[in-house]
Amino acid sequence: MPAVDSPIPDGLSVTELTTVLATLLASPNAVGMHVGIYDPELDPTVQVATALVDAIVNAFETANKHN
């Protein structure tokens, strides 16, 4: 993710993030989630924020379809 203080080259794509989150959220053991590290100062166009929110929403929607 580009809007972080320490980005990792070739890190997760938005699609991969959505898949991982959906898998984790579909577990009956999932009771919460914390989103951290996003730095809005590194995202002046809010493009990354939009993608991140979309990924989280899509992950919850996918997880709910499997429950």
DSSP for 47-67, written as a single string: HHHHHHHHHHHHHHHHHHHT-
Domains of the chain by residue range: 14-65
Q: In which band, very low, low, confident or very high, does the pLDDT at 15 lie, cut at 50, 70 and 90? A: confident
pLDDT at position 64 over 90 = no
Report, as an integer, the average pLDDT of 7-15.
85
Q: How far apart are CA 46 and CA 63, in angstroms?
A: 26
The segment with the largest mean pLDDT, out of 3-7, 32-36, 46-50, is 46-50
